Amino acid sequence: MTRDGVFEAPGRINLIGEHTDYNDGFVLPIALPHVVRITAARRDDGVLRLSSRQASGVTEIRVVDLVPGAVTGWAAYVAGVVWALREEGHPIGGFGLLVDGQVPLGAGLSSSAALESATALAVTELSGVSLDRRSLARIAQRAENEFVGMPCGIMDQSASLLARERHALLLDTRSMETEHIPFDLAPAGLTLLVVDTKAPHRLVDGEYAARRRDCHRAAELLGVPALRDWDGGLDGLGQDLPERLGRRVRHVVTENARVARVADLLRAGRIREIGPLLTESHVSLRDDYEVTVPELDVAVEALVAAGALGARMTGGGFGGCVIALVEEMAVQECTTAVLEAFAGRGFARPDCWTAVAAAGARRADHVPVV
């Protein structure tokens, strides 16, 4: 067992299955080539010393003093993982951890889960604690839920820790069963265009918690453990539920069905046909789940009008990114269409780039540390 090492964990894009993970449903993310890298060294004095190239200041705290609230700001994502591991009885001591991330912060590409996942891998491996990747994902999620205070589901951490190159990760968030489905667009002449709308995140935490409450309440009223279990159909929901809750249920139920259909199409190599399902997902998130903002809707509209096979917001919503399935030949046209649509409405200039499905978290000591 070595005392130090370099560890990397990627951000993610969710292809489909949005706001389904905390309803015990299905998600289908890919990992991005963008990673958070942590250079880690064990310390003998029981002190956690944290710094990041993307943040100012240094945080120092003894691991025995870790409790929720003791560390705030970005360092809480890292300290929270050490706290959660220790809570579950794993002997994690002091560490020096230097963070350097390429995943844009707060863009909906899950820099937070990448940070947690890299931390979890680093401190367990260098402490000789062997936990499987699913357990690491659960611990990272616990850190974000209980130490940072963000009630996220398990998707982001699972994508960062479990994803494989050129594959999408089909995850049943109830059983944690996974399937790696080939997702290689280039041979089909296709690509995944990402539009980071740069829309300021508004209301994110409060609205996210409100959607969770809506779903919880709806499940209670329908008498099912989670909305994933509702199989009573969607007609006539209005009699059992307030109108708003009915629409939340409709999103979750139809979104789970879309994940299953996309997975089937990908398994069958019928990639082009997933396009319309992506756009349907966006419409559902816009009208039934109400988590889009004008920037997201305008980007999707412009992309589809410019010939994208399908497009949708990805991530929690209220800002962040849109993805589009696009013919390689049409990337330029679609990008121009979005830039023009944004300029015409006075929105900030979005960032547009193409993504491939990359590998999950790994030890990366061979990477030169500069």
Q: Under the criterion CB under 6 A, does residue 106 sit at the interface with ligand ADP? A: yes
Nearer to ligand ADP, 36 or 277 (CB): 36
Which token pair is 145?
């839920």
The only residue of 20, 52, 135, 314 in contact with ligand ADP, by rule CB under 6 A: 52
Distance of alpha carbon 139 from alpha carbon 146, whole angstroms: 10
* Least distance CB 332 / ligand ADP (angstroms): 27
Nearer to Mg ion, 84 or 298 (CB): 84
The only residue of 39, 59, 111, 279 in contact with ligand ADP, by rule CB under 6 A: 111
Distance of alpha carbon 119 from alpha carbon 337, whole angstroms: 39
The only residue of 36, 168, 241, 285 in contact with ligand ADP, by rule CB under 6 A: 36
* Least distance CB 298 / ligand ADP (angstroms): 20
* Least distance CB 235 / Mg ion (angstroms): 36
Find the helix or strand (DSSP H, E) in which 195 lies: strand 190-196
Using the contact rule CB under 6 A, the part of the chain among 39-47, 82-90, 99-107, 272-280 near ligand ADP is: 99-107
3-state secondary structure of 147: helix
Q: Under the criterion CB under 6 A, does residue 74 sit at the interface with ligand ADP? A: yes
Query: CA separation (Å) from 197 to 193, 234, 254, 350?
Result: 12, 33, 26, 5
The interface partner of residue 317, options being ligand ADP, Mg ion, none and the CB cut-off 5 to 8 Å by kind, is none
Nearer to ligand ADP, 310 or 316 (CB): 316
Of 100, 156, 214, 288, catalytic: 156
Q: Under the criterion CB under 6 A, does residue 14 sit at the interface with ligand ADP? A: no
The torsion angles phi and psi of 307, rounded to 5 degrees, stand at 110, 5
* Residue 24 annotated as catalytic: no
Q: Among the residues of 288-355, which ranges form H helices?
A: 294-305, 331-345
Nearer to ligand ADP, 186 or 209 (CB): 209
CB-CB neighbours of 45 under 10 Å: 9
Residues sharing a CB contact under 8 Å with residue 147, sequence separation 6 or more, in sequence order: 68, 71, 76, 79, 80, 83, 84
For residue 187, give the DSSP letter: G
Which token pair is 59?
């945080």
The only residue of 14, 20, 112, 119 in contact with ligand ADP, by rule CB under 6 A: 112
The only residue of 25, 80, 108, 153 in contact with ligand ADP, by rule CB under 6 A: 108
The only residue of 115, 155, 168, 330 in contact with ligand ADP, by rule CB under 6 A: 115
Which token pair is 204?
């994110």
Q: Under the criterion CB under 6 A, does residue 109 sit at the interface with ligand ADP? A: yes
The interface partner of residue 105, options being ligand ADP, Mg ion, none and the CB cut-off 5 to 8 Å by kind, is ligand ADP
On the CB side of 336, how many CA atoms lie within 13 Å of its CA? 7
Q: Under the criterion CB under 6 A, does residue 51 sit at the interface with ligand ADP? A: no
- Residue 36 · residue 13 · CB < 8 Å: no
**Nearest Cα to Cα of residue 173 among 149, 138, 205:** 138
Nearer to ligand ADP, 114 or 259 (CB): 114
Q: Under the criterion CB under 6 A, does residue 54 sit at the interface with ligand ADP? A: yes
The only residue of 41, 47, 105, 131 in contact with ligand ADP, by rule CB under 6 A: 105
The interface partner of residue 136, options being ligand ADP, Mg ion, none and the CB cut-off 5 to 8 Å by kind, is none
- What percent of the residues of the chain are helix, what percent strand, and what percent coil, each to the nearest 5? 45, 25, 35
Rounded to 10 deg, the angle between the 243-267 and 275-287 helix axes is 170
The only residue of 52, 112, 173, 284 in contact with Mg ion, by rule CB under 5 A: 112
Distance of alpha carbon 154 from alpha carbon 140, whole angstroms: 9
Using the contact rule CB under 5 A, the part of the chain among 102-110, 231-239, 298-306, 332-340 near Mg ion is: 102-110
- What sign results for the dihedral spanned by CA atoms 148, 154, 158, 160? negative
The torsion angles phi and psi of 37, rounded to 5 degrees, stand at -110, 135
> Which residues contact ligand ADP by CB under 6 A?
36, 52, 54-55, 74, 77, 99, 101, 105-112, 115
> Which residues contact Mg ion by CB under 5 A?
110, 112
Active site residues: 156
